[in-house]
Structures are given as structure tokens and as C-alpha cells.
A and B are shown apart, each in its own frame.
Chain A
Amino acid sequence: MLNRQGRPTASNETRAADHPTFTGNRALQQEEPLLFEIGRLDATGVDLDEPEDFAPRLGTLERKGAIGLPGLTEPEAMRHYVRLSQKNFGIDTGLFPLGSCTMKHNARLNERVARLPGIGDIHPLQPTSTVQGALELMSELARYLTTLTGMPAVALSPKAGAHGEMLGMMAIKAAIEAKGEGATRKTVLVPDSAHGTNPATAALIGFAVKPVPARDDGWVHVDDMRSLLGPDVAAVMLTNPNTCGLFEPQIVEIAKALHEVGAYFYCDGANFNAIVGKTRPGDLGVDAMHINLHKTFSTPHGGGGPGAGPVVLSERLAAYAPVPFVRAPSSPLAGEDRLARSASEEGGRAEGTPVVSSGATPTPAPPRKGEGNAFQLVEHAGDAGGAEPLGRITAFHGQMGMYVRALSYMLSHGADGMRQASEDAVLNANYVRAGLADLMSLPFGDKPCMHEVLFDDAWLKDTGVTTLDFAKAMIDEGYHPMTMYFPLVVHGAMLIEPTESESKASLDLFVAALRDLAFAAKRGEAERFTGAPYHAPRRRLDETRAARQPILKWTPPAPVAEAAE
């Protein structure tokens, strides 16, 4: 800083680290004790009046004694949580290139609409006559999802991507059992590059997992697949675009090969954001695919949830979708209609037609007896008409709070904006690839990627710097690290997904920063990496210690014995 004479106001020769503070705080970066160290059992931030005397109906089951829940008044609570928030990195803080996780902008309009009383303040079990707008919203979301994927049906209720995977694999299992092949089709093929949730899901519902080995071009080959296919194979779980950031060029042949032997194609839709509006999984031969609304359709990640993982289903699987589902009032197929009307039924809708109206289609079916022109919520298998729901995978109707945010995203972007978003996401990733390809190593050669670019650690050989070190040094530069050590098929993976939310200027600075780090690593400045981060709220944490002697909750400190005289 300069004073009025244009001279430094103080010497800048000493470093910040040479000036420890009494509190341990660093100006805006405040140390914050645990709630249990600052709260009091009698403190509260909520004013409530004691009820008048009454005769309790608790029988013998009244709770006695202290629970152990200290409270804070509102000003104290605000400060506690605001200070905690300041130790977190979010999308709004800076570039968050976490590959496979799709950290795109979270529009605040979506937060606002989720809080409309008619959305946020309705109960899942109030009479359906009082929630017609909610059912319409679910129906509309279903229409968008089926149209974008080219699939005939969608089950909205899965609570997250892994939950959607579970449902998709359950639907496949139900279909196999319906064909009387339950005892023989027990194998699920999963490429080595898959998300860990894929094998975990298949195993959870009783399938044996057989890996599909990786090839050195990053693709799954139909010939490799064919050699594994037999009457024992129930399905393959394949991510497309895959976890190496590449679109699977043989996907149509793979789907065909699977279908020829009576197996199903589960597509992990984690990377659907690269291809929205560009190609449709339904056209590629997919039987089931979950869609992470928190990735592709920008519902907030929220520090690890809540997510939402609707699953689109092919004709072969649609009948097994779980309850509940919404039946739209004017469907020509009343009684067989799933959560969604099919895309082809909607084909006549002119672009720009308001999506909110009665939801009427050109040839409305006569209302079923006693149902009137209303959205129906089918909650029990017995009411499912000709369908054979496989059961129920969650209480109530799924993640309404996420449905509305995702629909808000879709309405805002429109068909044109969603397609543009996919193109920009892919362009941004390729721009980063072009900016770094000469310094960092690309395991599958310098070829176009989709929405994320995968580097390995071959280029760090003999530098003394690992992928982890490089990631931690990125923190000091103000970036969230990329995804590291995933996928498992390349050594020291660094998976960078900038998303469409980044401007060119932001990417230019990011590339420049990574280039500077890369040069530093190659020059032998290992210390910049191996001790990093230096500037974050915490240095590296001892994870071994945390796992060896787990401390998973706060316990009051043991009373200190009086010192002996």
C-alpha cells in the first residue's frame, strides 16, 4: 500500500508467516471451535413458550436426563456457521475442474423456485387433489428427460446416482426373472474404468461382477465384449461418454451384441452432460440409464448431496419401473402410461409453445372412471394397470426439491441452450487439452475428448512430484484440484472437467497457472508441491491417524486432576 507521498507505508521485508497471531486467526480466516466447546445446554436460538400443564400420554417412556445437545443463540450460530463456510471451496469461489463430478454453475433462480410455498411446503401424503401442480411438474420433468434421452419412460424416484444405478439393475433383474432366466443370467460385465458404484451396485443385488479389461486406446471394443458374452450375462454397465473422457465409438455395435444374446445395456449416465442435445442414448441402444440431476442439470452438490438420479428405461424395461409414478390426465394410453408420455406423442408440440397448460395432447383419452381430468399418482402395484412395478425404492415420491431445480435449469436453457451447454463443455475441455498437451501426458494420445480431459503422471516421472502433490499445489494457486487417481485404468490419473460455466479468460489463466506449475515440477522445485498446500485453512491432514484411532464424535474432555502440591 502507498501513503500520500507515494511511498510504502511499512517495510514489506518480513513475511506473513513470521507474524503469528495470539488467536491463531489470520484476519478473515478465523479459527472456529467445535459447537460443543462454545455451546451451552441452556442456550437457545429459538424462542418457544412452555406449554400449559397437561396430562402426558407417554406411558412409561419419558426421556430422562441430559441428551448432550448444546445450543447457541442466533448471533452466535450465524458466526459459527459463517466461519465454517469460509473454510470451504465452492463453485462460486473459483474454477472447480473436478472430472466426472460436473461442477457447473448453480443458478440461484433454481433455489428461489424450490422455495415457493407450493413446492417446498407441500406434504407427500396430502390428498392428490391438493397437489396437482406438483404432479404436473413431475410429469413435465419426465417429458424433458425422455425427450432428451430418446427413451420411452423414466422412473423419477431414485435419490442419487448410485440409487438410480440400483434401480436400473433391479429393473434388468426383474425383466430377466420375468423371462424365467433368473437362475442363469447372473453375470454383469463392468469395465475396469467404471465408477466404483457400478460393481458395488451389481454385487448389492446379487450379480457376480466380471471385469472387462481396459485397452490402451481408452475404449471398450465390441470384440472384447463379444468374447465375454454368453447365456450367463445379464447386462453390461458401461459409462458413455466414458470415464476417460471419451465417447465410445462402438457403442451401437456393443448394444447390438448384447441384445443378440438376450442381455441388457445399462449406461452410467454420469457424463450425460457432454451429449445433451447432441445424441440420444435411446438411439444408441441403451436399456437403462440414470441421470445425475446434480451433474447434468446443475442441482447443487451441497457438500455431498442431496442428489437425484432418475432412470430412463427402454420399452423392454419400462413395465418394471417402481411405484410411485404419475399418470398424466389426457394420455392416450391411460392405464399403461408411465411417468412420462413418450417423446413421439409430444412430437407435434411447436417450439415455443408454453409447456404449462393442461398438458393436453391432440387426442385426449376419456377420463377413467372417477378420475376426472386430473394427474394421478400411482402409489401401489395393484393400481399400476398393465405394468408390473418391481416394488418401491424409497418412501414418498423422490427428490421433488431437485426436480424443480432441474426443470428450472431446463426451462431456462431450452433445447438450444442445453445443446450449446454440451458443446461449450466439450470445447472448454478440449481447449484445456490443447493448452497443456505439450507439457503433460495424455495416456491415449492427443485426440479430441468430450467434456473432460484425462492426463496421467508419466510426465512427472523423476520429478519427485506425484499427482497428489500436483493437486495440492493447485489449491495454493486458488483452484480446486481435478479428480485424481480416477479412473483406475491409467497411472496417477488427473481428470479435468472445466464445464461450460468457465469463460475463456478464466480458462486462459487456469492453463497458465497449470503450465507454471508443470514447469516448476520439471525444474525440480519439488518443495512447492510436496508440502502443499501452504495457504489453505489447513495443511495436509493425517488420514492414517484418523483411520487408525477413529474419533467420530466429540466427547467431553476428561476432568483434569488437581495438581499435587
Chain B
Amino acid sequence: MRYLPLSDEDRGEMLARVGVANIDDLFADVPKDKLLKAPPDLPRRKGELEVERILARMAARNVAASSVPFFVGAGAYKHHIPASVDHLIQRSEFLTSYTPYQPEISQGTLQYLFEFQTQVANLAAMEVANASMYDGSTGTAEAVLMAHRVTKRRKAVLSGGLHPQYAEVVRTLSRMAGDEVVSLPPDVTAAEDLLAAIDDTVSCVVVQTPDVFGNLRDLRAVAEKAHRHGALLVAVFTEAVSLGLVTPPGDMGADIVVGEGQSIGVPLSFGGPYVGLFATRQKYLRQMPGRLCGETVDAEGRRGFVLTLSTREQHIRRDKATSNICTNSGLCCLAFTIHMTLLGEAGLKRLARINHANAVKLAGMLGEVRGVEVLNDTFFNEFTIRLPRPAAEVVEALARRGVLGGVPASRLLPSAGLDDLLVVASTEVNTDEDRTAFAAALKGALA
């Protein structure tokens, strides 16, 4: 077997050295009647060629985003990833290393985590960021728990513009933990009255911007009222590129900023693995979940980095820990930080402008299709349209015409009466031809 270096001769010699007659003597603690006598009922080993063929056949039954005009978003976005990003994250020393618990031989990981934390904090306009969470949705649930720890209250208010699956993750964890959640109804046009939901019993208000329907939200009034009542503002984003062009939550009074970093450096990959970004104010640092990397010096006075403040974490605190999280999203945060470094400030801002320009162009074109109405006043690279027919059917019809045209609101909110709404995203990958094809296919599908 190509991955197993021991030969039968080695095995024989080693068993003799260990002092047993055969391998099952080493499994003597397994109850006799529970020890399998033969391998399980699954196929035998296969060569690379055969494995690749099997998996390639499965892959071929999927429509890849880059193979068609592609406008699907709602929490995960198709962006171009520079070739060097994928090359670098596959370097053995990054790919096959462990959590940097031995800092003397992990400075590579630790330094990029420190750089990542700085980039995320600056991007969100916050004071401190951690070394990443699993993804945006689990990060949001962790932000709510953190707000409960800070405020010593146990009630979260969720905006109706929060990604419905994020909201469901928060509700599931809260129900299990015995915490209260108030979910405002789906809010397609950013018209909800969040202020009315804030009082002295609320721990945090969770608001997404751009929201799941694409609207940009001014968070200042919400932050102001939340703070007046001793509550925190948790600001969520699912499109990290937006922060290159849109006022960041940190400048609008957010106490915790949490979001999905997939857009920068991480492939779509059917929903995971992604990378959760998490930032907060310095004063809440010790209530923050997740790993943190900090600067220090070594025995010879040279600058170096270590994981720090681990007294918050489960391996030290056990049942008193701030979170049960053990890993972060190491390789995805490496991809994020490399892509961000390649973009730089100038590149990120330009990329964001291109995204916005493409979406504005698309909104104009789709708005001209008979029966289609664009619902947003403001948006970044994603907006919602109303169709004269159920969006789920239209999306299937578009797919048959070779266009992947967005996410029906009913896919995320099946019984909210939003069947005619379609959430559409346009990024830098879309060309004028893609947009023309989309508009034509939509016209055809609605005819």
C-alpha cells in the first residue's frame, strides 16, 4: 500500500521486538466478540488513477461556477483567487503543520496569524481580532455567547436582514444553552424598527450589513441606543470585499464584528471549509473566543510570536472556558491573508469598486426585463429582485438555459411568503457577456 511504509518482514521483526506473536495480541483489550475477523464490507484499496477517476466522475456531475455565467451569492461569493495563493498554502510546512503549540518551530504560522489579526482588525476598523473561527455563521453564534458573558444578560435580538442560516445557527445554540432569542421577521428592504426591540434586558443586537437581501445598513443609531441600554452591537458581514468600499462596522459603533472571510482567498467548495473573521474592542479582549497570537521575544531577545491568553481556552479552563473551540481555520486564514497581501489596500479598494460597478450594471439590465423589479435602494455587489413567478422555478429554468442566476429567497426562508424574490450577486468574475446572457435568459424564462 503506497501510504504504508512497513513491509511484512518489518512487521514480523517488530512484533518479535514488542514480544507478541501476532498483531491481535496488541488488541487484547478489545472484547473478543467485538474484534472484527476481517476488514469491513467496503471495496479494496485502489491506485491513484482509479481514485481520481471515481471522484472526477462525481465532480463532472456538478456545474462549476467558472463554467457558466454565475450570479449566486447569499453568503458565499465567487471571486478570482490569484494562482500564487493556492501554491503557497500547499507548501508542506504550512499544509502539514499543527497548531503552533511549539512556537520555536512554528514561527511561520504564528507570524502569518499575527499579520492576519492585524489585517482583520483594520478591515473591520476594530481594535483587536482573533486568529479566526470556523466560519461566519458559527462565529456569529460565538459573538452572541460572548455578548452574554460581557453583559451578563441572556437575550439576543436578531435583525430580519441577518442571513437566515446564521440566525438558525444562533437559535439552535441558544435554545440548547437556555438563552433567549428574539428574531425579527424577514426584512427585505431594511425597513425594520430595530430600535424598538432594544431595552435593558437585551444583551446584544445582531445586524448584518450588507444584509442578506443586499441592503447596506447604517448602524449608528442602533449602536447608540444599544449602548444606552447596556447592550452590545454585533455587526455581521458575509461579503468581506464590501469592506473595501463600504463604511466599516467599527466606524459605526459596533462592539463585536464577525463575518465570513471566504470571499478573499478561499474557494466556494460547496460551503466549506471557510474562515470566520472576529474582531472586537480591546476592553472585551478577555471575553473573546478563539485563538489569539501575540508578539513577544525569545531567550536571545529576538522578536517572535506565540499563542497567548490561552487561559480563556478549553484545554486550560475545561468547563469554565469561553468557548469549546479547539481549532481555528488555519489554512483558510493563510489563504485569506496571502490574498489580502497581494491585493493590498489599493487592490482591495479597486476590487470592491469593480464589484459594485458590476452589480450596478446588472441591476440596471435586470430592471429592464419586463415584470422584474429591483427592490434595493442601496447595495454593494448583491441585490434582490421581485419576479412575476416563483423564483425557485425561474432559477431552474435559468439553469436549463446555462445560467446560474441567484438564490431564491424561499430557499433560505421557505415559508415566509417571499417566493417571488431572487437574491442576485455580481462580482469581478462576471463579464458584460455574462450579464447580457443573464438578462436574455431571464427574459426567456419569464416569457
Closest to A533 in B: B104
In the bound complex, how far is the Cα of B117 from the Cα of A46, in angstroms?
22
Closest to B103 in A: A541
- With A127-B396, A303-B109, A411-B54 known as contacts, the answer to whether A118 contacts B66 (CB < 8 A) is no
Q: Which of B29, B300, B361 contacts A539 (CB 8 A)?
A: B300
A419 CB to closest chain B CB, in angstroms?
5
Q: Is the CB of A356 within 8 A of B54?
A: yes
In the bound complex, how far is the Cα of B170 from the Cα of A395, in angstroms?
10
Q: Is the CB of B29 within 8 A of A71?
A: no
Q: Is the CB of B343 within 8 A of A45?
A: yes
In the bound complex, how far is the Cα of B340 from the Cα of A430, in angstroms?
46
Residues in A with CB closer than 8 Å to B178 are 206
In the bound complex, how far is the Cα of B308 from the Cα of A465, in angstroms?
25
**Interface assignment of B244: CB less than 8 Å from any CB of chain A:** yes
Q: Is the CB of A89 within 8 A of B105?
A: yes
Residues in B with CB closer than 8 Å to A87 are 93, 105-108, 111
- With A44-B343, A411-B54, A504-B6 known as contacts, the answer to whether A416 contacts B39 (CB < 8 A) is yes
Q: Is the CB of A541 within 8 A of B297?
A: yes
Binary contact track A308-339/B, C-beta < 8 Å → 1, others 0: 10000000000000100000000000000000
**Interface assignment of B428: CB less than 8 Å from any CB of chain A:** yes
**Interface assignment of A512: CB less than 8 Å from any CB of chain B:** no
Q: Which of A58, A74, A551 contacts B216 (CB 8 A)?
A: A58
Q: Is the CB of B95 within 8 A of A162?
A: no
Residues in B with CB closer than 8 Å to A304 are 98-100, 109, 131, 291, 327-328, 330
In the bound complex, how far is the Cα of B267 from the Cα of A61, in angstroms?
28
Q: Is the CB of B346 within 8 A of A71?
A: yes
Residues in B with CB closer than 8 Å to A136 are 58, 61
Q: Is the CB of A109 within 8 A of B52?
A: yes
Q: Which of B114, B123, B248, B271 contacts A397 (CB 8 A)?
A: B271
Closest to A70 in B: B344
**Interface assignment of B48: CB less than 8 Å from any CB of chain A:** yes
B295 CB to closest chain A CB, in angstroms?
4
**Interface assignment of A341: CB less than 8 Å from any CB of chain B:** no
| Interface range, B side | 35 or more
Residues in B with CB closer than 8 Å to A88 are 93-94, 97, 105-109
**Interface assignment of B373: CB less than 8 Å from any CB of chain A:** no
Q: Which of A121, A196, A420 contacts B321 (CB 8 A)?
A: A196
**Interface assignment of B399: CB less than 8 Å from any CB of chain A:** yes
Q: Is the CB of B270 within 8 A of A134?
A: yes
**Interface assignment of B40: CB less than 8 Å from any CB of chain A:** yes
**Interface assignment of A55: CB less than 8 Å from any CB of chain B:** yes
Interface size on A, residues (CB 8 A): 217
Closest to B361 in A: A54
In the bound complex, how far is the Cα of B330 from the Cα of A475, in angstroms?
22
Q: Is the CB of A448 within 8 A of B54?
A: no
In the bound complex, how far is the Cα of B61 from the Cα of A72, in angstroms?
39
**Interface assignment of A277: CB less than 8 Å from any CB of chain B:** yes
Q: Is the CB of A115 within 8 A of B86?
A: yes
Q: Is the CB of A448 within 8 A of B20?
A: yes
**Interface assignment of A200: CB less than 8 Å from any CB of chain B:** yes
**Interface assignment of B17: CB less than 8 Å from any CB of chain A:** yes
* B112-166 interface (Cβ within 8 A of A): 112, 114-115, 117-119, 121-123, 125, 128-129, 131-132, 134-138, 145, 163, 165-166
What is the count of residue pairs linking A and B with beta-carbon distances less than 8 angstroms?
735
In the bound complex, how far is the Cα of B13 from the Cα of A480, in angstroms?
26
Residues in A with CB closer than 8 Å to B340 are 69
- With A117-B67, A120-B269 known as contacts, the answer to whether A392 contacts B129 (CB < 8 A) is no
- With A117-B67, A196-B316 known as contacts, the answer to whether A81 contacts B30 (CB < 8 A) is no
Binary contact track A54-87/B, C-beta < 8 Å → 1, others 0: 1111111111101111111010011011101111
Q: Is the CB of B98 within 8 A of A414?
A: no
- With A90-B94, A424-B4, A480-B105 known as contacts, the answer to whether A45 contacts B269 (CB < 8 A) is no
Q: Is the CB of B216 within 8 A of A59?
A: yes
B404 CB to closest chain A CB, in angstroms?
5
In the bound complex, how far is the Cα of B300 from the Cα of A24, in angstroms?
12
- With A44-B346, A395-B136 known as contacts, the answer to whether A127 contacts B395 (CB < 8 A) is yes
Q: Is the CB of B62 within 8 A of A130?
A: yes
**Interface assignment of A152: CB less than 8 Å from any CB of chain B:** no
**Interface assignment of A1: CB less than 8 Å from any CB of chain B:** no
B139 CB to closest chain A CB, in angstroms?
10
Residues in A with CB closer than 8 Å to B54 are 354-356, 411
- With A69-B122, A424-B4 known as contacts, the answer to whether A411 contacts B115 (CB < 8 A) is no
**Interface assignment of B433: CB less than 8 Å from any CB of chain A:** no
**Interface assignment of B76: CB less than 8 Å from any CB of chain A:** yes
Residues in B with CB closer than 8 Å to A82 are 88, 91
Given contacts A119-B270, A392-B165, could you give 12 more A-B pairs where the C-beta distance is less than 8 Å? A45-B84, A88-B93, A89-B93, A119-B58, A278-B35, A302-B334, A305-B328, A306-B274, A394-B165, A401-B272, A547-B311, A550-B294
Q: 8 A-B pairs, CB-CB below 8 angstroms?
A: A32-B111, A57-B356, A88-B106, A117-B64, A123-B268, A394-B169, A427-B15, A539-B104
